[in-house]
Structure 1
């Protein structure tokens, strides 16, 4: 029983440390998108080459198209970050 009381807090600490260490995933604008069928516009834009996209859409009733964010030079949507709060400095 004593071992269980020590193991659970240690396990919880490891899980929390794992969440604290991991970084959020970053979206990247790849030049090719799988479009049609199950995907809304612009589609699943995760392909670096047209050949990769073609291989992925084969047999899925989809087609490959250019990513409009890359093809037409549109700026990506800004990533919103929370404002850092600072404490006011007390006058001397």
Structure 2
């Protein structure tokens, strides 16, 4: 009886530490300009391609197509760099 309780307690502790170590999954680790899109991938798709050619090579034979990433197209531009007033001596 005592051994089964101890085994159940140990199994519960192992399961708890496994669940506690799992963090939330990110929606998409990539923000590249081209996405593989299709019915099985949802919208905007698998946006892991820097060039259109990379995307075409990936979708070949997979019943998918390539489209532009809307997150990439419509993102806010980065803030402007501060103007540097360095004095340059003429020659």
Same fold (TM over 0.5): yes
Q: For residues 34-68 of structure 1, what are the alpha-carbon distances to aligned partners after superposition, in whole Å with 9 as ceiling and x for unaligned?
A: 113434432233x14331x3343110121122211
How many residue pairs end up in the alignment? 73
Runs of 5+ unmatched residues, structure 2:
77-91
Instruction: Mark the runs of 5 or more structure 1 residues left unpaired by the alignment.
Output: 75-92
What's the TM-score, normalizing by structure 1?
0.59
Between the aligned partners of 1:30 and 1:40, the Cα distance in structure 2 is: 16
Q: Distance in 2 between matches of 1:17 and 1:65?
A: 41
Aligned-pair Cα RMSD in Å: 2.5
Q: Is the 8 A contact 2:35 2:49 kept in 1?
A: no
Runs of 4+ in 1 over 6 A off after TM superposition: none
